[in-house]
Structure 1
Amino acid sequence: MKTTAAFVLAAANLVAGHTTFQSFVIGGKDQGQHFAVQTPSNGNNPIKDVTSSAMVCNGGTATSDQVEVAAGSSVTMQWHHNDPATTSGDSDEPIAASHKGPVMVYIADAATNGEGAVWTKIYEDGYTNGKWGVDNFITNKGAITVDLPNLTAGDYLIRPEMIGLHEASTQGAAQFYNGCGQIKVTGSGTASLPSTGTDMTKAYSATDPGVLVNIYSGLTSYTIPGPAVWDGASTDSSPSTPTTTAAPVSSAAPSKTATPTSSAVASAVASASATPSAEPATPTETQAAPAPTSTGSGSGSSTLPETFTIEQFISWLKTTTGSSSARRARRAHPRAFQL
């Protein structure tokens, strides 16, 4: 009999530390117990199997209620130890202080019913300067407040969650608490949730470092399990084709009145001398002019001024390469000289 009584007392003490998501607080006003909140099927008991379907919405079923929240505004989710809440004289309200661990919030399109890889993490509070997310949760009297991303208007499920790690040094003993609420986002937000999210039945492993952990072993850091927090801006939509930011590309033909330069002519002469029958390529604005090169020895000047006339060029050509090259140059396509 004493053994049975001790067991019942121990079980009662364990249950005493649990908690449930019970209401929304919008604009400082509590919207009422279970209004737009899915009541969990297993009371305030924790989930220990991370692959259980209860990891989605704690066994809750959809209600006909919704709370309206403007895109980009804050929303508060109120938790209590017991359901219905009996806050007076309850030392474990909203949760036993021993249940230390992280607090997280996910969101999904309501049309998915939370099933599959549809959840996006929008908030997390792990372990900072010796204080846990659950410590902050207790300080805030069971309220979890998050700023919504600038979401497009529509119906969403929001899923707060916390993990009690007080027994998590044993595999499968971490305690998960979650619940789902139903919100209607209003306004002119433009951010769409990523098309591929997280499946809550596959989000965690029993051996993840943030799930299987001894929090009493001089912990100095903690790895929050699950995906990273979404930045609220990235989407899977392809960006529109730029129309005004691309640098313009000129397609205009070279001016017929442009004065030829010595480097451009030297290039044309080299081409004509090497293959007399080939027509030189037409210069374009995007082609870089080759650097001037030596054209060989001669009795006259071996270089041309930066600008010159065709007569000066022919005279120079006769002096440096001989009359035969000059004749070939005359047969060169006139576009090579940009006259």
Structure 2
Amino acid sequence: MMKTAAFVLAVANLAAAHTTFQSFVIGGKDQGQHFAVQTPSNGNNPIKDVTSPLMVCNGGKATADQVEVAAGSSIGFQWHHNDPATVSGDSDEPIAASHKGPIMVYIAKADTKGEGAVWTKIFEDGLSGGKWAVDTFIANKGLITVDLPNLEAGDYLIRPEMIGLHEANNAGGAQFYNGCGQIKVTGSGSASLPASGVDMTKAYSATDKGVLFNIYNGATTYEIPGPKVWDGASSGSAPAPSTPTKTAAPVAPAASKTATPTTITSPKPATPTATEAAPVPAPSSGSGSGSTLPESFTIEQFISWLKTTAGSSASKARRHARAFNL
């Protein structure tokens, strides 16, 4: 009987060991309980129906407050077991250690009111080296800190979430905890959220690998459910490129210029000068009349000598004369 009572008490403690998002932490300073945070209508109770409207902002209502945070900077979400927080003496602060599971953060434009396919995942942490994201969350006393993408300035809803998998070995046993806060992003960021996001009432199914999961079978790997982290947030504050960067086509090496072959024209034989005349019979000594030429002679004497010695016509003589370029 005592064992049964102890078991019932343990189950009751598990059921009550819940948590809620209660305040922002900016620059290491807590912004105050519920300031710019939509107080959940669901209290610290978990959501088990993944299609419930509570999956959007846990039933919270919009407030007139906002916290300002610069694009690309860190933002913190402070959670507590009870609301208001009763840290002293609460062994389940900020959540019971049994509630192991992943943590995710989503963001949407404020004017959407979180309704429909408007949410973009900017952070997730699951199981790594045997340590769950919730283990880190407990070690950090209920504080989740992430880096915002380099978002364009404007008003946004931001939604941290965690899943308790301690009863998730049965369909419908996973416990979802979420909350929404209102932020004004400042600065000169340029990244726009994707035009199409996810509807939080359709983001998960009860049979997803990361929702229907047994944490007691010594698992070393875990598939985080829901959409992938937006590529504009995957490297911290780096924005997603609006269009894929085109890789320039390889530039072919410049073709080496081959010199145009130079046509070498054989030089024309130089026209003989008077001193380079075609060989002529060696003149015999004489007075320059008849068949002999004097040692010094004129062109007329040479032509006359040709006529006499070679019997050539006057035209042939002239051609020989032209060889002298005269």
TM-score (norm 1): 0.68
CA RMSD of aligned residues (A): 3.0
1:218 counterpart residue number: 218
**Structure 2: gaps of 5 or more residues:** 233-237, 252-259, 265-326
1:298-336, Cα deviation, whole Å (9 max, x unpaired): xxxxxxxx5669xxxxxxxxxxxxxxxxxxxxxxxxxxx
Residue 6 of structure 1 deviates from its aligned partner by 8.3
1:105-135, Cα deviation, whole Å (9 max, x unpaired): 1111111111111111111110001000000
Q: Which amino acid aligns with 2:182?
A: Q
- For 1:134 and 1:181, how far apart are their aligned partners in 2? 20
2:33 counterpart residue number: 33
Q: Counterparts in 2 of 1:104-183, with a 5 A limit? A: 104-183=104-183
Q: Secondary structure at the match of 1:159?
A: strand
Residue 15 of structure 1 deviates from its aligned partner by 3.8
1:203 counterpart residue number: 203
Are residues 165 and 241 of structure 1, via their aligned partners in 2, closer, same or farther at CA, if it must alter by over 3 Å? Answer: closer
1:24 counterpart residue number: 24
Q: Secondary structure at the match of 2:37?
A: coil
**Structure 1: gaps of 5 or more residues:** 249-260, 262-305, 310-339
1:213-249, Cα deviation, whole Å (9 max, x unpaired): 111012121000011111225658457999xx8999x
2:75 counterpart residue number: 75
1:184 counterpart residue number: 184
Q: Secondary structure at the match of 1:105?
A: strand
Q: Secondary structure at the match of 1:96?
A: coil
- For 1:178 and 1:139, how far apart are their aligned partners in 2? 19
Alignment check: 8 A CA contact 2:149 2:239 kept? no
Residue 13 of structure 1 deviates from its aligned partner by 1.5
Are residues 73 and 49 of structure 1, via their aligned partners in 2, closer, same or farther at CA, if it must alter by over 3 Å? Answer: same
Which one is further off, 191-200 or 95-104?
191-200
Alignment check: 8 A CA contact 1:78 1:143 kept? yes
Residue 14 of structure 1 deviates from its aligned partner by 3.2
Question: Following TM superposition, where does structure 1 have runs of at least 4 consecutive aligned residues deviating by more than 4 angstroms?
Answer: 5-12, 233-242, 245-248, 306-309
Q: Which amino acid aligns with 1:224?
A: I
Are residues 229 and 70 of structure 1, via their aligned partners in 2, closer, same or farther at CA, if it must alter by over 3 Å? Answer: same
Q: Which amino acid aligns with 2:217?
A: S
2:235 counterpart residue number: none
The percentage of counterpart residues that share the same residue type is: 79
Q: Counterparts in 2 of 1:31-110, with a 5 A limit? A: 31-110=31-110
Q: Secondary structure at the match of 1:13?
A: helix
1:41-67, Cα deviation, whole Å (9 max, x unpaired): 110000000011110100101000000
Are residues 240 and 147 of structure 1, via their aligned partners in 2, closer, same or farther at CA, if it must alter by over 3 Å? Answer: closer
Residue 16 of structure 1 deviates from its aligned partner by 2.7
1:336 counterpart residue number: none
- For 1:84 and 1:42, how far apart are their aligned partners in 2? 14
Q: Which amino acid aligns with 2:171?
A: Q
- For 1:131 and 1:246, how far apart are their aligned partners in 2? 46
Are residues 231 and 308 of structure 1, via their aligned partners in 2, closer, same or farther at CA, if it must alter by over 3 Å? Answer: same
Q: Secondary structure at the match of 1:34?
A: coil
Alignment check: 8 A CA contact 1:79 1:142 kept? yes
1:6-26, Cα deviation, whole Å (9 max, x unpaired): 898567413431000000011
Q: Secondary structure at the match of 1:181?
A: strand
- For 2:223 and 2:8, how far apart are their aligned partners in 1? 35
Q: Which has the larger radius of gyration?
A: 2
- For 2:24 and 2:229, how far apart are their aligned partners in 1? 22
Q: Secondary structure at the match of 1:111?
A: helix
Give aligned pairs, total. 253
